[in-house]
Structure 1
Amino acid sequence: MFFSTFAFYSKKMHATTPLRTVQVMRYILALREGGSLPALADADDGFKYVVKFRGAGHQEKALIAELLGGEIARLLGFKIPELVYAELDEAFGRTEGDEEIQDLLQGSQGLNLALHFLSGAINYDPLVMEVDAETASEIVWLDALITNVDRTFKNTNMLMWHKELWLIDHGASFFFHHSWVNWEKHALSPFAFIKDHVLLPQASQLAAADAKFKNMLTEEALRTIVNLIPDAWLVSPDESETPDSMREVYAQFLIRRVAHSEIFVKEAQDARKTLI
């Protein structure tokens, strides 16, 4: 993913802090490693951001997953680059010569999502960097909760910055919302893809992580995070649902998944047994 080449800067943020909105001022560089063609850009607050565009392949769904996954991780105490809403006006990127990128920018006018740039961060390398069992277990628990298919050996989606581990790129989470059917079934799924998680071999304290995080992810806390999703990103597949009704699906998905976390915890524990 694009994070494997670039790093990000983040302010210290608390969970459920309302997101700021910035205006994207200058397009610096397309980050071509990911299929969604995010970009490094300057904003009107003087900082650099990696912008994820609503006009990319998975459109608003990727932005929603990034927002929910990142803010849940922040609530649980992980280090996450600050997420901000990023406004693009119709003139943004006009000088870009690449037609594919021009089309992307034209389809992304309005509200997008961006992450602060962590200058000097390096990719987490599982072959040379160690993560303790408690931290590994907690990250595996998080990714099983949000059904994140993309924290693997191929794409670790973690950075080391000032000798601390930072989590990035949650846009491949909540894969149920790409079909928007049987969400109740998905909420109670064991999440078999956890077998591919890069930190699963070290995750020997999953039961402790479960006990800790279930108490933190209250219904109120989850609804506060879900309510951060802008109306503009909640596009009903058949125009039968409103933004409020779609937010309710996300909230209920998370509430039920937390309440029945023993299902995905057991799946992770069983998958780990095959690795050790």
Structure 2
Amino acid sequence: MLKEVTATRYITPLREGGSLPGLVEADDFGIYVMKFTGAGQGRKTLVAEVVCGELACRLGFRVPRLVAVDLDPVLGLGEPDPQVQELLRSSGGTNLGMDFLSGALGFDPLAFPVSPEEAGRIVWFDALVNNVDRSWRNPNLLRRQGGTWLIDHGATMIWQHNWPTAETSAARPYNASDHALATFAPDLAAAAARLAPLVTADLLAEVTAEIPDVWLADEPGFDTPDDLRRAYARPLLARAAVIADRITGIGEGR
């Protein structure tokens, strides 16, 4: 399971995204970007962040460390913004925090060249999890200490929003024509050869074990949180073996 911390201070909202994440301080003295169960798609967005973030970490990508943040809604009482107050009131309990990457810069394809090897790995990973939110309009990549960091994976694994059709949805190709790294000649064959063998049932079981039980409770069609964990793992395991051959749009014009 994710490390558990308790939010002690709400610092400021981050208004770059529609879900209104916030910067918080926790009882371990860490500063975290916090995403809330009361925002957007709720806990399913947080599950996607955990599955993709923990999987990316194990596959060798740079991603912020994730923690489970316990939030007392009383922290929102002094907030002047009614939208922030409501978000904090509706998000009591376990939320998601990710390390705040001090000094990180937003990715600019004109300023930060990416090798075909690295581009291939990132595009392959995004195809695996069906990330529709790493476009050239909104890269969701950061540059820090000479490296490229992957952030914001809430808009992935769209099949989780309709489990009866998950198998069909997960079998669909991935259109990478708008991907932020499509113009860097991604070497998808090398990425698949390197990464696909690493995506095993054991690895996915380890990754999905990080999801807090409370985010998996009471899902229609599933008796236990572990049943739902296995449902998250199955499409990824099947997709890893074939997705390199189902990526379209690379080498095509925008």
TM over 0.5: yes
Query: Which residue, 191, 194, 198 being the options, matches 1:216?
Result: 198
For 2:76, the equivalent position in structure 1 comes to: 93
From the superposition, tell whether residues 203 and 65 of structure 1 become closer, same or farther in structure 2 (CA, over 3 Å). farther
Distance, in Å, in 2 between the alignment partners of 1:236 and 1:116 is: 29
SS at match of 1:171: coil
For 1:227, the equivalent position in structure 2 comes to: 209
For 1:198, the equivalent position in structure 2 comes to: 180
Say if 2:48 is the partner of 1:48: no
* Greater alpha carbon shift after TM alignment, 114-123 vs 174-183: 174-183
For 2:117, the equivalent position in structure 1 comes to: 134
Say if 2:239 is the partner of 1:272: no
| Amino acid aligned to 2:56 | A
| Amino acid aligned to 1:201 | T
- The alignment yields a C-alpha RMSD, in angstroms, of 1.6
In the TM superposition, residue 132 of structure 1 has moved relative to its aligned partner by 0.4
The Cα offsets for residues 177-227 of structure 1, whole Å up to 9 and x where unpaired, read as 1233311112221123x2211112224410111011111111101111011
State TM-score, norm by structure 2: 0.94
In the TM superposition, residue 241 of structure 1 has moved relative to its aligned partner by 4.2
Give the total of aligned pairs.
254
Contact in 1 for aligned 2:73/2:90 (Cα 8 Å): no
Distance, in Å, in 1 between the alignment partners of 2:123 and 2:94 is: 31
For 1:168, the equivalent position in structure 2 comes to: 151
Say if 2:170 is the partner of 1:187: yes
For 1:26, the equivalent position in structure 2 comes to: 9
Distance, in Å, in 2 between the alignment partners of 1:79 and 1:133 is: 17
State TM-score, norm by structure 1: 0.87
In the TM superposition, residue 236 of structure 1 has moved relative to its aligned partner by 4.4
Where does the alignment leave 5 or more consecutive residues of structure 1 unmatched?
1-17
In the TM superposition, residue 237 of structure 1 has moved relative to its aligned partner by 5.1
The percentage of counterpart residues that share the same residue type is 43
Contact in 2 for aligned 1:140/1:203 (Cα 8 Å): no
For 2:97, the equivalent position in structure 1 comes to: 114
Q: Runs of 4 or more off by more than 4 Å in structure 1? A: none
| Amino acid aligned to 2:210 | L
Where does the alignment leave 5 or more consecutive residues of structure 2 unmatched?
none
Distance, in Å, in 2 between the alignment partners of 1:141 and 1:42 is: 34
Distance, in Å, in 2 between the alignment partners of 1:164 and 1:273 is: 24
